[in-house]
Structure 1
Amino acid sequence: MTGPTPLAELLFGEADATPMSTDATTVKPWSQARACLDAAPKAWLSTMRPDGRPHTMPVMPVWADGAPCLATRPASRKGRNLAGNPHTVLAVSGADLDLALEGIATRLRDPGPLREVAGAFLAKYGWRFEIRDGAVFDDGLPGSPEYAFYRVTPVRAYGYGADGLTATRWRFS
């Protein structure tokens, strides 16, 4: 992520009476969380339906435009949910860290970021998108369906170590 490094801190303190570590040396660096998200072949995106019910679906994340990004069709349930309420959670499980990232999803419309995200999808998954008139299309599918790219700006994130005893919270300003 470009910009200042988020504040990393223990998620639990001694007063929490939890089996989680309260040793400050176990705080994970943001670079480890970012690497976990960047390497994940799939993540779980949680959005909110208009009636307040949660909706969670798998997505293929990429790191581009300085943050995690994803693609979805605008008319899909997650696309409609994000259009109505941009607050979201992106969760991944890695070999040494499980990560839940809370953020604000913003639909990308400018050609520069759209090209950058399309390039990240091509590099990571071999998924080719075409950009025409500020819109994103998958010409490899029948009917060349339209997609939307979203950038998830982190607000806070939680990381849990593979040992099950370490937890880190990152707060972004």
Structure 2
Amino acid sequence: MSKNPVAELLFSEADATPISTDPATVKSWDLARTCVESAHRAWLSTGRPDGGPHAVPLMPVWVDGAPCFTSRPHSRKSRNLAGDPRCVLTAADETLDLVIEGEAVRITDEDGIRRVLDAFGAKYGWGLSVRDGSAFADDLPGSPEYGVYRIIPTRAFGYGADGSTATRWRFEGE
């Protein structure tokens, strides 16, 4: 479960930026949730073993207060996350451009996996089964396996679609 973040202006008046410094423009974390829930595609960035970047589109869902996704166990993103769980998820909707920095944690308990798969079924109509701590697409040839991940946010940024507002969310302990 992710903690409730502290929302604050990203820039102050001293920054002399065209971004609003009016505290009334601070966005709520609910807008971040709505952005992920409405996005049919988001981008996940991870680090390769050699330090190089890797970015890939994926289908996000929001479960238990955090963004979640699936990944084939031998995919580049899964292998990157096994070596370094730090990642960045980006998504956008009509009101917000969202950047979530955090750590991807593989969900292996059956109840946790089922909650995420229920969200995938509701959002995308994608039915997966659960066994042995993974999800499986039994309707596809070979019944491919998918790991299920939750991103535990460490900080996030939301930029208003108007181009003049920005919010930073700091999570407790940061």
TM-score relative to the length of structure 1:
0.96
User: Over the residues paired in the alignment, what is the CA RMSD in angstroms?
Assistant: 1.1
Rate the CA distance shift 1:114–1:4 in 2: closer, same or farther, 3 A.
Answer: closer
Q: Deviations over 1:12-57 (max 9, x none)?
A: 1111121111111111111111111111111000000000001000
Task: Give 1:3 shift.
Answer: 6.2
TM alignment of 1:19-168, pairs within 5 A: 19-168=18-167
1:52-110 Cα shifts (integer Å, max 9, x gaps): 00100001001113311000101000111111110010000110110000011000111
TM-score (norm 2): 0.95
Distance (Å, rounded) in 2 between the aligned partners of 1:135 and 1:92? 25
Aligned residue pair count: 172
Q: Is the 8 A contact 2:2 2:152 kept in 1?
A: no
Encode CA deviations 1:119-161: one digit per residue, 9 max, x unaligned: 1111110111111122211112111111100000111100000
Give unmatched runs, 5+ long, in structure 1.
Answer: none
Identity %: 60
Instruction: Extract structure 1 runs of 4+ deviating beyond 2 A.
Output: 2-5
Q: What is residue 13 of structure 1 aligned with on the other side?
A: 12
Q: 1:149 to 1:39 in 2, by over 3 A?
A: same
Task: Report if the CA contact (8 A) 2:2-2:153 is conserved.
Answer: no
8 Å CA contact retained: 1:74, 1:147: yes
